[in-house]
Chains A and B, each alone.
Chain A
Amino acid sequence: MTRIGVVTFPGSLDDGDARRAIRLSGAEPVRVWHGDHDLQGVDAVVLPGGFSYGDYLRCGAIAARSPIMTEVVAAAGRGLPVLGICNGFQMLTEAHLLPGGLVRNDHGAFVCRDQRLRVEQAGTAWTNAFAGGEEIVVPLKNGEGGFVADADTVERLEGEGRVVFRYLGVNPNGSVADIAGIANDRGNVVGLMPHPEHATEPGFGPDTADAMRSGVDGLRVFRSALAALLAA
């Protein structure tokens, strides 16, 4: 069975939900510890949401320098699928696996809501189960989720098709070009601020037209990794 690791850092909150999402997608979740240098031979890695190290210094900054991240950076370079969700996205930028940075929301407030997104790039290891341009809804919850990058970087991301998710409707945090998630040039490393792991099980996801809390759009993010690994 495909084994997907979820790294737990001091202050991780959504590692449990990420493991559950992985199980629901048909893979085996593996607990990985921030202080180890051992990825336990997993086939993919998820850096979960939360407030690692209390968001001290900068969000994700201290976690990005933890022992396990040395291994994550090396494995990402070999093509291992790596997904960073929220705080995990912040870690990926701090570890320079993804360009740009995340800053405090432009309106200054924490935002928590179900968020419409457009899947702009369905060619990554974490989005191949979607159709390009498909609209999905997953929860969003962040205080420092404003994606920023210089104009050249944004132009490059857009030009190379590396904007993976884009906010629809009102921009929730001031992200440049409504960018919600991006990929590295190879498409194996993806980071996004919204939380696909919270939209994976009927009864616990966002509301849909069919029924309350029935949204499971996030499940296909994890199924994409399985498909990518089978195709590899």
Chain B
Amino acid sequence: MVLVEVMPKAELLDPQGKAVAGALHRLGSSAFDGVRVGKRFELHVVGPVTDAVLAEARQVAETLLANLVIEDVVSVREATDLEARA
């Protein structure tokens, strides 16, 4: 399995994260002063995870899974055995 993580660009306001941060604050949590919400894609791979598969994952991440105008692909990697079983 390949994991792709996408986050809204840092310079953009993240209203979703802001709403979650507001809820945390109201619940009395004081350890966190900010939240940003992104996405994790789990790509189930046909066969073994090779360099070519990872390269293809990066390609689809940058063309479909993320819109690079408003988001960044922050990670493309093979899932660990533990993550793949979860």
Residues of the A chain whose Cβ atoms lie less than 8 Å from the Cβ of B12: 103, 148
Return the contact of A101 from the options B19, B64, B70 (Cβ within 8 A): B70
A-B contact count (CB 8 A): 34
Closest-by-CB residue of B relative to A153 is B69
Residues of the B chain whose Cβ atoms lie less than 8 Å from the Cβ of A108: 15-16, 18-19
Residues of B in contact with A, size category: 10 to 19
The interface bits of chain B over 25-61 (1 if a CB of A lies within 8 angstroms of the residue's CB, else 0) are: 0000000000000000000000000000000000000
The interface-forming segment of A57-65, A74-82, A192-200, A216-224 is A57-65
Q: Is the interface of A mostly helix, strand, loop or mixed?
A: loop
- Flag if A101 contacts B69 (CB, 8 Å): yes
- Flag if B15 contacts A105 (CB, 8 Å): yes
- Flag if A148 contacts B70 (CB, 8 Å): yes
Closest-by-CB residue of B relative to A94 is B67
Q: Is A16 on the interface with B (CB-CB < 8 A)?
A: no
Known contacts A103-B8, A108-B18, A61 near B67 by CB under 8 Å: yes
Residues of the B chain whose Cβ atoms lie less than 8 Å from the Cβ of A57: 64-65
Residues of the B chain whose Cβ atoms lie less than 8 Å from the Cβ of A94: 67
The interface bits of chain A over 11-27 (1 if a CB of B lies within 8 angstroms of the residue's CB, else 0) are: 00000000000000000
- Residue count of chain A within 8 Å CB distance of chain B: 18
Residues of the A chain whose Cβ atoms lie less than 8 Å from the Cβ of B69: 93, 99-101, 148-149
Closest-by-CB residue of A relative to B19 is A108
Q: Is A106 on the interface with B (CB-CB < 8 A)?
A: yes
- Flag if A58 contacts B67 (CB, 8 Å): yes
The interface bits of chain A over 84-123 (1 if a CB of B lies within 8 angstroms of the residue's CB, else 0) are: 0000000001100001110111111000000000000000
Interchain nearest-CB distance for B29 vs A (Å): 19
Known: A101-B69, A103-B12, A106-B13. 20 other contacts (CB 8 A): A57-B64, A57-B65, A58-B67, A58-B70, A61-B67, A93-B67, A94-B67, A99-B69, A101-B67, A103-B13, A103-B70, A104-B15, A104-B16, A107-B15, A108-B15, A108-B16, A148-B69, A148-B70, A149-B69, A174-B13
Q: Which 4 A-B pairs have the closest CB atoms?
A: A101-B70, A101-B69, A108-B15, A104-B15
